[in-house]
Amino acid sequence: MRDYIIRRVLGMIPLILIVMIVSFGIFSLVPNPFAALIENPRIKRSDIQRLVKAWGFDLPWYLRFFKWFSGVIRGDWGPSLLYPGSTARDVIARRLPVTMRVMGLELLVSLVIALPIGIISAVKQYSMTDYVVTIFSFLGMSMPSFWLGLMMMMLFSVVLKRPSGVPLLPAGGIITPGLEQAPFWVKLGDRAQYLVMPVFVLSFLSIGYYARYMRSSMLEVVRQDYIRTARAKGVPERSVINKHALRNAMIPIVTLIALSVPGIVGGAAITETIFNIPGMGSLIIQAEIKADYPTAMIGLMLSSVLVIVFNLVADIVYAWVDPRIKYS
Amino acid sequence: MDNREVLVDIKNLRTFFYTEDGVVPAVDGIDLTIHRGEVVGLVGESGCGKSVTALSIIRLIPNPPGKIIGGEIFFHGEDLLKKNEEDMRVIRGDKISMIFQEPMTSLNPVYTIGDQISEAITLHQKIDAAEAKKRTIEMIRLVGIPEPERRFSQYPHEMSGGMRQRVMIAMALSSNPDLLISDEATTALDVTIQAQILDLMRGLQKKLGMAILIITHNLAVVAEMAETIAIAYAGKIVENASAKEIFKSPRHPYTYGLLQSIPKFTEKKTNEPLPAIEGMVPSPYHMPKGCRFNPRCPFATEKCREEEPEILELTPGHLVRCFHPIES
């Protein structure tokens, strides 16, 4: 098992390099952002040429890659083009915690709700509960996030108000200005109210997806012979489900969860925009449009590395849940 | 004629399946008596209702689509069909145990066999974990599995089909049941393993004294094991007598046909094809009018096509459902 993990980790290095080169290459298709400056008569040609040279846009993409990469191995990811004066790393560092907070909560809330309702829905297949769960699952999966977000905002930030006249929930942002000196729990409570709507919207969209997965995995398991064996030896129905069925039904869910975790750093561009959250999703899209390759590459590499790492995590957890799987 | 105490008395059991295509009368008026310590064979073709009878006894008919719609199943004088689910659960695996056809899929793949056997023990007996482990190892040894201590912590996938069926038997007998139901338990095994498992069951029956209901389509299996044989056809018992009687002087044309179709190696080689019962098992959606066997019966008369025969005791202990029983 240890050897297997070491082998897999070593195998990640070339994979990450390839991802890096390919995404950088694709990125070079974004036009040189300085070319348009030529049309501006107030900017000197020599200044433009200096900028183009400094950013490496005078070089073919692979040479630009090497220039950038030689910095990366020294820990220097380059300056941000989008936010002049900041390094790309600082730009990401400002955004990442915000996104991880929203997306982490979203994943947690979705799983905590979706897995139990998926199980109940399978155990009581074709019951009223099952139909309600199914309807809400599909409703969530087909819901446009911007519409739901706007409707929630209308309700909780415009229609519903506290006795003091302040909206029940803030319409957007992540923190109320002027609370820097407030005690810790006040700040925590303040942040929490900004999170309610975005986390609800994102969870509502994904609960159905996880619940349907859990349901079908559970349905597959409860009709297996060993479930009948468990019943035949007098196991109470509750432990037939919780002990005998669930552990088997979780095997495919492990992959699903492991592959969802990298989403925590990716952000959700549309929801972030609606609720005015300075997160990764909107940042990376802007960086890509504006050819801010140092910033965009950090975002891409974060996601890729997490996808690769959590694939390995999924494989390790597999072996732990399913004794039939052995790595050597 | 049998002075032993009646253990199971099934009276006019009717279990129907309500499918989209119509109602399937899988079991339609089965009567069967099992005495304490008796080995009874229930024989019939696929779809004759023999497995459904077994599942009806322990009340594990999947509902929907199946439902026991009538009859009585007395066990120790109490009607199992009147018991609530919790009372039934306590009986399952304790007083009545069952083993199934597919040893490869009847054990839970994610728990060790030790776990699965000791679960059956602790469910029905108030003993601590250490004691349960001791009992489990004893049971594993009892069913003839070598190295019981090592096998205790093995998973089902580490064992062959024959070994897994032994594990199933150990599990079923761990609480010293009064009745063991074996539903085609040897059908999926190859012939030598089949003989070993039958030997084991016969040995354990002598040692522990439980009654066994052997459900099979294989006459050779019951010939070896059963004292009493019931022949089922299309959801009804057509003949019920001691094994000796059945093989020596079958009275029902269906039983006669079954026995004729067994190759006999004592006879001289001939080039004659083996006799077979003409026709097919009737579709459960369209049971023939009158005697259910009449379309395939060489002796059928007008009466057989119109009226349904009752099961009658022709000679003491020999019950036959036929208007024109074959003379002995």
As for the ipTM of the complex, it is 0.88
Q: Could you tell me the residue range of the domain that residue B305 belongs to?
A: 1-95+216-287+298-328
Q: What is the pLDDT of residues A189-241, one digit of tens each?
A: 988 999 999 999 999 999 999 999 999 999 999 999 999 999 999 999 999 99
CA atoms of B167 and B164, how far apart (whole Å):
5
Query: The domain that contains B69 carries what CATH number?
Result: 3.40.50.300
In this predicted structure, the answer to whether residue B1 has a pLDDT above a threshold of 60 is no
Chain A residues touching residue B157 (CB < 8 angstroms): 323-324
DSSP B32-48: EEEETT-EEEEE--TTS
CA atoms of A125 and A236, how far apart (whole Å):
19
B301, B303, B305, B308: CA torsion to nearest 10: -130
In this predicted structure, the answer to whether residue B263 has a pLDDT above a threshold of 80 is no
Residue B83 lies in a domain: yes
A108: closest CA of chain B, how far (Å): 26
Question: In which band, very low, low, confident or very high, does the pLDDT at B152 lie, cut at 50, 70 and 90?
Answer: very high
User: Of B133, B163, B120, nearest to B145 (Cα)?
Assistant: B163
Question: In which band, very low, low, confident or very high, does the pLDDT at B269 lie, cut at 50, 70 and 90?
Answer: low
pLDDT (0 to 100) of residue B2: 61
Nearest CA in chain A to B90: A234
* DSSP label of B288: P
In this predicted structure, the answer to whether residue B268 has a pLDDT above a threshold of 70 is no
Query: Residue B273, SS3?
Result: coil
B122: closest CA of chain A, how far (Å): 10
Nearest CA in chain B to A248: B110
pLDDT (0 to 100) of residue B132: 92
CB A283 within 8 A of CB A299: yes
Size of interface A-B (CB pairs under 8 A): 71
DSSP B57-117: HTT---TTTEEEEEEEEEETTEEGGGS-HHHHHHHBTTTEEEE-S-TTTSS-TTS-HHHHH
Residue B65 lies in a domain: yes
Chain B touched by A67 (CB under 8 Å)? no
Average pLDDT over residues B2-24: 87
Chain A touched by B157 (CB under 8 Å)? yes
Chain B touched by A224 (CB under 8 Å)? yes
CA atoms of B281 and B283, how far apart (whole Å):
6
pLDDT (0 to 100) of residue B180: 94
Chain A touched by B320 (CB under 8 Å)? no
> Over pLDDT 90: what percentage of chain B?
34
User: Of A119, A113, A115, A260, nearest to A200 (Cα)?
Assistant: A113
pLDDT (0 to 100) of residue A207: 94
pLDDT (0 to 100) of residue A220: 94
Chain B touched by A244 (CB under 8 Å)? yes
**Full-model pTM:** 0.84
Residue B172 lies in a domain: no
Residue B146 lies in a domain: no
CB contact under 8 A, B110 and A224: no
Residue B36 lies in a domain: yes
CB contact under 8 A, A228 and B108: no
Average pLDDT over residues A268-287: 91
Average pLDDT over residues A315-324: 88
Average pLDDT over residues A62-87: 90
Pairing type for strands B66-75 and B6-19 reads antiparallel
pLDDT (0 to 100) of residue B59: 93
Chain B touched by A124 (CB under 8 Å)? no
Of A229, A234, A237, which is closest to B106 when you measure between CB atoms?
A: A229
Question: In which band, very low, low, confident or very high, does the pLDDT at B111 lie, cut at 50, 70 and 90?
Answer: very high
Q: Which residue did the predictor score with more confidence, B230 or A172?
A: B230
Chain B touched by A311 (CB under 8 Å)? no
CB atoms closer than 10 angstroms to residue A173? 12
CB A275 within 8 A of CB A200: no
CB contact under 8 A, A248 and B108: yes
pLDDT (0 to 100) of residue B224: 82
CB atoms closer than 10 angstroms to residue B115? 15
A233: closest CA of chain B, how far (Å): 4
Looking at every residue in chain B, the average pLDDT score rounds to: 88
CB atoms closer than 10 angstroms to residue A181? 7
B317 token code pair: 């202990």
Residue B130 lies in a domain: no
Tell me phi and psi for residue B314, to 5 degrees: -75, -50
Chain A touched by B115 (CB under 8 Å)? no
Residue B264 lies in a domain: yes
Q: What is the pLDDT of residues A87-137, one digit of tens each?
A: 999 999 999 999 999 999 999 999 999 999 999 999 998 899 999 999 999
Average pLDDT over residues A43-60: 85
Chain B residues touching residue A233 (CB < 8 angstroms): 92-93, 97, 119-120, 123, 171-172
Chain A touched by B91 (CB under 8 Å)? yes
Question: How many domains are there within chain B?
Answer: 1
What Rg value do the Cα atoms of chain A yield, rounded?
25
Range A161-164, long-range pairs (CB < 8 A, 24+ positions): none
CB B228 within 8 A of CB B311: no
Of A244, A321, A323, which is closest to B155 when you measure between CB atoms?
A: A323
In this predicted structure, the answer to whether residue A270 has a pLDDT above a threshold of 70 is yes
A129 token code pair: 């509960």
Chain B touched by A238 (CB under 8 Å)? no
Chain B residues touching residue A234 (CB < 8 angstroms): 89-94, 120, 123-124
Average pLDDT over residues A288-307: 91
pLDDT (0 to 100) of residue A275: 92
Nearest CA in chain A to B112: A323
Residue B111 lies in a domain: no
Nearest CA in chain A to B170: A233
